[in-house]
Amino acid sequence: MSRCDFKIVLLGSEHVGKTSLVLRFVNSTFNSGTPYQNTIGAAFCAKTMRSNGKDFNIGIWDTAGSERYEAMTRMYYRGAHAAVICYEPCCLESWARLRHWLQELRTVEEECKVYLCGTKKDLLDSGMVKREVPEDIVATYSQGLRGHFLTSSKTGENVEELFQKIVDDCVADAKLMRNVEEMRVQLLKEEEAYKAKHKEYCNC
């Protein structure tokens, strides 16, 4: 009974910054004051975005990176229109996990549009951390995918751009849009039916 037009899932190992990315995108905030807390299970957020002159509801699943939820994560990317796989350019381990997700998505969700996202760009730019994942390797991996973004949830750099690209890509996908339209029509019908029934009930 999802009322979202597009389903987007965020994947990536723990601490790479998925939750921060969603909070920046949805609430335009970044919490540098509060200490890191891992996500438990998964969190769902929705936001309305415009593309091609029309409004779309997008639903975002922010999954937990902790290994203990790994098998659960499959249920979040089932049927996802797009997946953003996050890694930290300054953490080789997070890149190794990214390759795992790529493989999973290729076999389980072929239709899913996949994006790579290198997080915490501000740290890289400031020189506080050293890049561990070589750029040419990232480039090689991004080739078969829908895009690669380097974002900072702290400054907001490239965050809006990432999600806008996803929505634009979805809107440009004729097959996907046919399904979305069908869903909308059906949901509208259901709502009408529900309202009609409810009215009847109230009049009694």
Q: Extract the tokens encoding 163.
A: 């999600």
Q: Does residue 19 interact with Mg ion by CB under 5 A? A: yes
Segment contacting ligand GTP (CB under 6 A): 103-111, 117-125, 167-175, 183-191? 117-125
Residues 21-80 that bind ligand GTP (CB under 6 A): 32, 36, 38-39, 64-66
Q: Is the dihedral of CA 74, 38, 57, 111 positive or negative?
A: negative
Mapped onto helix, strand or coil, the DSSP state of residue 162 is: helix
User: Cα(19)–Cα(25) distance, rounded to whole angstroms?
Assistant: 10
CB of 136 to Mg ion, least distance (A): 29
CB of 52 to another protein, least distance (A): 26
CA distance 63 to 57: 19
Are 112 and 77 in contact by the 8 Å Cβ rule? The answer is: yes
Q: How far is the CB of 48 from another protein (least distance, A)?
A: 16
Closest CA relative to residue 48, chosen from 5, 2, 112 = 5
Other CB atoms within 10 A of residue 47 CB: 17
The entry of ligand GTP, Mg ion, another protein, none near residue 8 (CB within 5 to 8 angstroms by kind) is none
CB of 45 to another protein, least distance (A): 5
Residue 75 binds which of Mg ion, ligand GTP, another protein, none (CB < 5-8 A, kind-dependent): another protein
Binding stretches for another protein (CB under 8 A): 1-2, 14, 19, 22-23, 27, 34, 37-45, 62, 64, 66-72, 75
